[in-house]
Structure formats: structure tokens, C-alpha cells
Amino acid sequence: MKRIILGIWAFLSLFTFSSCNDWLDILPSNEQVTDNYWKSKEDVEAVVTSGYYYMRSTVPQMLIWGEVRGGTLFSNNSADVYLQNFNLNPSHSIVNYTNVYKVISMANSVLKYAPSVREIDDTYFEPIMNSHLVEAYFMRAYSYFLLVKNYRDVPLVLDAYVNDDASYELPKSTEAEIIEQIKKDILAALETGAAKEKYEIDWQTKGRATVWALYALMADVCLWSEDYEESIVYANNILNATAAFRPVFMQDPLKWFDIFYPGNSNESIMELNWDNTTYQQNNNFGGYFNLSSGSRLRFTDASIQTFKDETDEIKKENPTLDGRLGRTLMGSYVHSGAAIADYTTANQFYVWKYKGTDVADRENLRTAEDANFILYRVAEVLLIKAEALILQGPAYWPAALEIINQVRERTYLPAIELETSEADELTLLELVLHEREMEFVGEGKRWYDLLRFGRMQSFKYKEQFITKIVSSNQTTNPQWIKSVLKSEDAWYMPIPESEIQTNPLLEQNPYYATTK
């Protein structure tokens, strides 16, 4: 059997589950999803389900790729250190992207074969098929966006590799070509008219692709590609929605932690679900977020001070406030001391949002490692819109500041008082970056926020970007980071060496092709 490009063998698996609603209860078999496999709507649904399975398998990479280069968290893991120290080479395991392409392969198979199943299965009605296509388009678009943010240029695989008829050797496509395809996929999904606002089973409304997930992804992609007007349009499709089951920004600071426990909150737009109670599933976040020095991901010294400063500000404004402080103390982080006041002298904080079931103390932890991983929530859509407004020009800065303050005030922080007519673009962007760092720590966002900042407007803020990376990285020499990041090619990871050796059409990222 030919080896599929990008390290994906043509073993695309079937998945069995106990009923059509048990979307988390999937077990790989050893059979291939060949072109002879597609006979019924249940076959299509099984492959859609497997796409979510593989999306969950990519979460460790989403965490590491999105965090350790950003300087809010650092890793103790030897494989991660090469990434956070910007000292990668193509043979390092951390650059492997096979799991991401498995998601893409599942999506490609559904998009290719679902229509033919309708000709065989009389019960596979068009609205059901279109709903499956929506989910496949979302999976493929989200996966390629993840690849673009980490590799920039990668092979754009749009065909289903289910037999030996297809060529498995493809060159890289450019970032612009991939972004164009991502937008096409999102629009194709929306044009089906089958993107749901709500599923019959509550958790699926947050755990499967919806119209809201498509809007959020498009707003994010447009922000990345500097199409700011369109980014605002798609953000507003969520923020200005009036549908009964729309996602909404949770205003109450005391409800902030509900976003993570039990999860699937009103604020959530899309999250990958685990369920230990029903399916004995663990996400292994424990190894990433232990409340000990052995935790794989821990706060850097710079971010500890940032959290202390914000907590000080909250306590100053609310001197009688105790316990839960919105996204900060016992929310996004728990400090090494037992008493709340100890945060002022604590020298180590731990990521808490995936661990705790309440924030009144440190002892009441989840009974299982089955916290969900959030892809998008409304707070991010708000800040996407704020950033796009800032980059639209000074006339939009008051509206952007209002959004920033909306997110701040949800966590007991005072509103920022700033005369925007006397401010500049960089000042406003710094405010957005700060809010995103504090709000989404540990959610795999920080590096991409900084990368977007560094590359926007033809690298207008390149020096500020490098300064932020250097000042927060605590595991390598600052001069080394400065020298590496002078090359914009080094802001992205190398194509895995195994893929270069297998596929003669693949070319290495220029930085790694010319350096050792």
C-alpha cells in the first residue's frame, strides 16, 4: 500500500459506538474506510464521529504549539523545550503534524462520499447529509488554520485518500492559497443552510460544529488575514444574534469558572468533549496541569507577576472580595499557598481552570481528568472584534475600548479610562493582547496572538513582537532568541523530516533548510 503524504497511512479507521448518539464512545477497528465502505448514513456518521476523535487527539499539540512560545506558560518537557527555545530541527517529534492531517482525511472522505450514500440509502435524507457536510467543512477548515498558524505553507490535501488510485505526493501550497480554501470551506458549509444553531442533545450543541462555530472560525481567519471588515461582520453574527439558543457572554464574574466546570456553558461556542462518567475517558490534562512542580505547563515568572498585579488591582477595587476573583485568583490560576492572601508572596502559580470543581479551596478537584478543551467562546469573539476595530482606524477605537472594558469588568477589574483621541494604535493593541493573555491562559491562544501582532501590516510591530518574546522567555538566552526571530521564517515550524524524505515534491521551510 502506498504511503499517504504527510505521514498518514491509508488506514483511515471505522469507528463503532453503542448508539447513534454516543458520539464520545468510539473504538477504532482495523478496517479501512475504502470507497467500498460507504453504504448507509450510519457509515457517514461513523466517519464524522472519528473526525472529532482525531480532533481530541490533537489537543496536546494545540496546547504546546499555542502556549510555550508565547511566554505565559513554559514547559518542563524535554521535547517541548526545543520549541519554546526556538531551537527546532525537522527531526524533532514536536513538529509532527500527522494527527491534524488525520482530521483532514476524515473530513475529505465525508465530503467526497456522503453524496453517493444518498443514492444507496433511502433514509439518508438531504438535510442529514448536509449537516454532515457542515461538520466536515468545519473540521477541515479548522485543521488547516491550525497548520497555517504553525507551518505557514503546507500541502493542501482536498481529496480522500481511500485507495491507491490517488497520488500521495503533493507540493506545499502557500498560506494565501490555504486561507482562501479555508474561507471557501466555511462559506460552503454556511451555504448548505444546514448549519445548526442547536442539536437535540445539549452537549452536542457545544461539542459538534454549529453555525456559531463557523462564524467564530471565519471571524478569526479574517482577523489573521487582515480582512478586518469581514472579521467584524462574522463576529457580529454571534454578538448581535437574537436566536433563542445563541451563545452569550456570561456577565457574572462568579459564573466565570462555570465555563470550565462543568463546561459546555452558555458562553461556549465550540469545545471538544471528554466524559469519564459515561465513557471512562480521560484527556490526560493531569500531566499538563498538575498542582506541583512536576506539571508539564507552568506559569513563567513574568506571567506570575502579571497575575499578581491584576489580582492586586481587583482587591484594591473590591477590598471585601474573597475567594473567587473571576478569571484570576482561583480562576485561571491557583497559587502555591493555602490562604488567599498568600498570593502576594507565592513564587509559583499553577493553571487551575482544568483542575478544580470550585474555587473556594484547593482541595476540591475534579474526580477525573475529563475537562473539555474550548476552541472558541464568546469572550474571544468580543476581543477578535475589538482588535479588528482597532485596526480599522481611530474612528473605531472608542468602540474597541468599550469591548475591552466589558471583558475586564466581568472579572471585577475597573474600566480602563483612556482618551482614545490621544492614544495610538499600538497602545490599543497592547490592551487587547493583555486581555487575551489573562482571559485565555492555558487555552492554546497566546503564541498565535503574538504571532498575529508581529506579522500584521507587513511586520509593522516586528521589534515589539520580538521584545515580548524575549522578555517573557525564561529558559534560553535572550540573544539567541533575538537572532533567531530576526528571520520571519523562523516564526514557523519546519516540515517534519520524515515527510521531506518521503515526498520529493515537499520543500523545507527556508529557515530550516539553510540552518542546523
3-state secondary structure 68-130: CCCCCEEECCHHHHHHHCCCCCCCCHHHCCHHHHHHHHHHHHHHHHHHHHHCCCCCCCHHHHH
Q: Band the pLDDT of 162: cuts 50, 70, 90.
A: low
- Assigned C-alpha cell, 198: 442547536
Query: Which class does domain 1-175+479-516 fall in?
Result: mainly alpha
Residue 164: per-residue pLDDT: 53
Lowest-confidence pick of 245-254, 349-358, 380-389: 349-358
Residue 349: pLDDT over 50: yes
Query: Helix, strand, or coil here: 320?
Result: coil
The Cα 370–Cα 262 span in angstroms is: 10
**Domain boundaries of the chain, sorted by first residue:** 1-175+479-516, 285-371
Fill in the amino acid letter for 42: E
Greatest CA separation for the chain? 70
Lowest-confidence pick of 43-57, 276-290, 499-513: 276-290
Strands 13-16 and 8-9: unpaired
Residue 81: pLDDT over 90: yes
Residue 19: per-residue pLDDT: 35
137: Cα within 13 Å, side-chain hemisphere = 27
Per the model's pLDDT, the better-predicted residue between 339 and 190 turns out to be: 190
The residue behind cell 456553558 is 265
Fill in the amino acid letter for 155: P
Q: Band the pLDDT of 163: cuts 50, 70, 90.
A: low
Range among 2-11, 46-55, 276-285 rated most confident: 46-55
Residue 281: per-residue pLDDT: 86
The Cα 388–Cα 351 span in angstroms is: 29
Residue 334: phi, psi to the nearest 5? Answer: -125, 135
Residue 360: per-residue pLDDT: 62
The Cα 496–Cα 516 span in angstroms is: 14
Per the model's pLDDT, the better-predicted residue between 279 and 499 turns out to be: 499
Query: Helix, strand, or coil here: 427?
Result: helix
CB 266 within 8 A of CB 241: no
* Cis peptide bond upstream of 60, omega within 30: no
Handedness of CA 285, 290, 294, 297 (dihedral sign): positive
- Assigned C-alpha cell, 107: 473530513
On the 0-12 / 13-18 / 19+ scale of CB atoms within 10 A, 357 is middle
β partners of residue 268: 377
Residue 514: pLDDT over 90: no
pLDDT per residue as tens digits for the range 16-64? 333 333 444 443 343 446 667 899 999 999 999 999 999 999 999 999 9
Residue 321: per-residue pLDDT: 80
* H runs (alpha helix) in 152-249: 175-191, 202-207, 211-224, 228-239
Q: Which residues contact 294 (CB under 8 A, 6 or more apart)?
A: 76
Mean of the per-residue pLDDT values for the chain? 90
Query: Helix, strand, or coil here: 267?
Result: coil
Residue 495: per-residue pLDDT: 97
Determine the average pLDDT of the residues in 175-191.
98
The Cα 394–Cα 376 span in angstroms is: 28
CB 404 within 8 A of CB 435: yes
Lowest-confidence pick of 101-105, 191-195, 278-282, 314-318: 278-282
Residue 297: phi, psi to the nearest 5? Answer: -115, 125
| Of 465, 470, 467, the residue nearest 481 (C-alpha) | 470
| Of 113, 117, 115, 83, the residue nearest 12 (C-alpha) | 113
Any idea what DSSP says for residue 142? H
Query: Helix, strand, or coil here: 368?
Result: coil
